[in-house]
Structure 1
Amino acid sequence: MKNQVFKILLVFLFVFGINFSAISQDYCLGDNFTLQATNYVSGTVQWQYSYNNSDWYDFPSANSLTYYFVPEESMFVRLKIIDPQCLSEYYTEKQYLYLIPQPTTANAGEDQLEIMASSITLSANQAEIGTGYWTIMSGNGGQISNPNIPNAVFSGTPGEIYTLRWRIYNACGISDDLIKISFSEGFTCGQNFVDNRDGQIYPTVEIGGKCWFAKNMNIGTMVNSSQDQTSTGNIQKYCYANNTEKCNVFGGLYQWNMAMQFSENEDSQGICPAGWHIPSDQDFKNLELALGMPSGEVNLMNTFRGYNQNVGQQMKQNGGSGFESLMGGARNGGGAFMYGQGTGSYEFAYYWTSNHCAEASECSGYNGNEMYAIRRCLQNGNAGSGRYDTFPKTYGFSVRCVKDN
């Protein structure tokens, strides 16, 4: 905080109504100001202020040649003099006080430790007032893609612990915040995977040479089942019965476009973390073959396959494969929930694949209809694994992720 002193010289007098330019200078919000008048001759005085250089108001109890105050916003100031022996009323030159606000309070985001990746997108706040930039305060081998943006990409060396500073500053102040980041020495399938976007933890399992999440995805903000999920820049999800606790147990339910993040490319990352993707129809086939499904059944459509080998049963919770599917149900195209846990033999788990019928030659009655996509089905009391294309993309299903090669 600074103390600013202004001396108003009465030898520079302006009669009210004459047009002239105000002297101006920049100051900081919170500074203390002292207004002083010199070369005073006679008469009574009143300090005044204006926000628009048109409407003037008296400062309270400001009737001496010196006035102390702390303005809360930018303003013009002047001294009014009443002297019947000279002029009935006249004014000094006005001074414009432009007050620069303090910079936005810096927020570097949450600490990110033991990230199972080699880079991370930073999540500092935007500098609404002032300029922001990142600095690596400690740690070797780190790089920031663009230090001047809050959402820069930071990459580093496994085993190092980095301290980064997000600073927002301007001529009137500095605000700092620190964040700690470290990268895991490496990820081995079978370990828990931490999604650094929201801190969710996913167990993993290797089946048929591929690393799968052993838990349904649960990223995003819940929206009511009465509305479709939209491309707002944020991931959206349904929770069975519009109950967030259901998402904590069964994961979210996603329309196909949301699951794919509005891509139509096979093996798209979709809502999965970096380095993982939405399983393709072939990914699921490889998993089913690894669990013993006959090759003559794996390509069958709109039926359950692998009964005799208990392929679907193996994919369920405590089924032995480690896939650990729960009967999470679905949200239909009209917004109603169906086939969730507690519906007896009608309990189902549904999983989207990244293949849709606009490009999948194996879609049956819906081949060439981009409104449909291929899914997997598991049913309570049914030992097989279903492969179907009969529900449109507007349905909400569970999502698993498989690691990129």
Structure 2
Amino acid sequence: MKKIFALLVVAVLFVACGDESSSSAPATDPGEESSSSVEKTTESSSSAKPASSEDKQSSSSAKEENSSSSVVKSSSSKKDESSSSEEVKQSSSSVVASSSSVVGESSSSEYKPYNHQKVFSSDSLLSGAYKEFTDERNGRKYYYLTINGEDKDGNPASVTVMAENLNIGIDVAGGEDQVDDSKIERYCYNDDTTNCDKYGGLYQWAEAMQLPSECNAKSCADQIKPNHRGICPEGWRLLTYDDFYIVVHADGNDAGVKGVRAMGFGGHNYSGYSLIGAGYNWGYKFRNLNETTYWFYPEEGSLDKPAALSGSQSNSSTGNALQSIYKTHGTSVRCVMVE
């Protein structure tokens, strides 16, 4: 009986083995080798043998380990994120502190308007020679004075003139022309507006004259008027060579042009005119700040291309120069009261 039972068990096992062999997955069709890797992965997965009990336990154990590892990694990741978040917060706090520091520096070093009285001689200030005028167009105040002297014919003459360079207009970069005829345009030395505050603006000839910008490239002599106002305030006009002659030959000025220049510009300022080294824009390049200054007169000159008459001084000049320069250079402007 025991032998018969054993034989039956063997037979059952033999049949089971034969069934298992016949249920194995078929080989991949060679014609499907060009299919995408996603399709191959799906096919391979569907043809896999069912997992045995041991496999399932092993898989379950692996899942638990992976799950545990995932939890640990997740926890670690959260810690890292928390740490990263804390670092970001600290970094953000540092940036805010840095920004606050920058603002503090900017506030403490805020630009203070230039004190234009610095260039005047103390004698003139104490004697009350200087008065103040406000340009209603932009609210800027200018010191001015009346200078008594003699004209080119040796006759007594006087001129009431600004003791500072004019500063008005919309900023234009030094490498560009002043071509917008609908508004006053200016250069500030080195494109720095604080230089306009201290030294005044720099203007091409047509701009200073308030003539069409095309006058920088052609003659517009017929448009120059007596007492030509240009960009000066109402009631004022552009300085002429005759005006400057009176300034140089002011009463009590025995130093010539040195008596016209400010004390910080190689002069004595005996006349009170207070000329400073405003530099200039020559060929679209700023040059010689505190060393030289140019200004246009309302009069055309003669060169190989359109030019205008100009005065100039350096911190070592000994004469009153009158020359022609190109109209496209940027120079200072002084205004004289119309009387």
> Given the two structures, how large is their TM-score scaled by the length of structure 2?
0.52
Name 2:298's counterpart in structure 1: 354
Q: Which has the higher contact order (CA 8 A, sep 6+)?
A: 2
Whether the aligned pair in 1 keeps the contact of 2:147 and 2:271 (CA below 8 Å) is yes
What stretches of structure 2 of length at least 5 have no aligned partner? 1-127, 149-157, 212-222, 264-268
**1:290 aligned onto 2:240:** no
Which residue does 2:20 correspond to in 1? none
Any residues of structure 2 matched to 1:103-114 within 5 Å, and which?
none
The question of 1:332 aligning with 2:276 is answered: no
Match of 1:198 in 2: 138
Is the helix fraction higher in 1 or 2?
2
Q: CA separation in 2, counterparts of 1:231 and 1:315?
A: 34
CA shift, 1:189, in A, is 7.7
Q: Which structure: greater strand fraction? A: 1
Q: 1:321 aligns to what?
A: 271
The residue correspondences of 1:1-400 to structure 2 (distance < 5 A) are 190-208=130-148, 209-262=158-211, 263-290=223-250, 309-318=254-263, 319-333=269-283, 335-341=284-290, 347-357=291-301, 366=302, 371-389=306-324, 391-400=325-334
Whether the aligned pair in 1 keeps the contact of 2:247 and 2:273 (CA below 8 Å) is no
For structure 1, the 5+ residue unaligned runs are: 1-187, 294-308, 342-346, 358-365
Question: Do 2:166 and 2:201's aligned partners in 1 also have CA atoms closer than 8 Å?
Answer: yes
What do the CA deviations read for 1:32-53 (whole angstroms, capped 9, x no partner)? xxxxxxxxxxxxxxxxxxxxxx
Secondary structure at the aligned position of 2:322 is classed as strand
Partner of 1:362: none
1:184 alignment counterpart: none
Greater Rg, structure 1 or structure 2? 2
Report if aligned partners of 1:291, 1:311 keep a CA contact under 8 Å in 2: no
* Distance (whole Å) between structure 2 residues aligned to residue 211 and residue 194 of structure 1: 15
For the Cα contact (< 8 Å) 1:189–1:211, is it kept in 2? Answer: no
SS of the residue 1:192 aligns to? strand
Secondary structure of 2:311 counterpart? strand
Contact 1:352 1:398 in 2 (8 A): yes
1:49-68 per-residue CA deviation (whole Å, 9 max, x = no partner) reads xxxxxxxxxxxxxxxxxxxx
Deviation at 1:316, TM superposition (A): 1.2
Q: How far apart are 1:350 and its partner, in Å?
A: 1.0
- Aligned partners of 2:177 and 2:129: how far apart in 1? 35
C-alpha distance in 2 between matches for 1:327 and 1:348: 5
Specify the SS of the correspondent of 1:203: strand
Distance 1:288 1:315 in 2: 6
Distance 1:193 1:370, change over 3 A: farther
The structural deviation recorded for 1:290 is: 2.9
Identity, % of aligned positions: 30
TM-score by length of 1: 0.44
Question: Counterparts of 1:289 and 1:355 in 2: how far apart (Å)?
Answer: 22
Aligned length in residues: 187
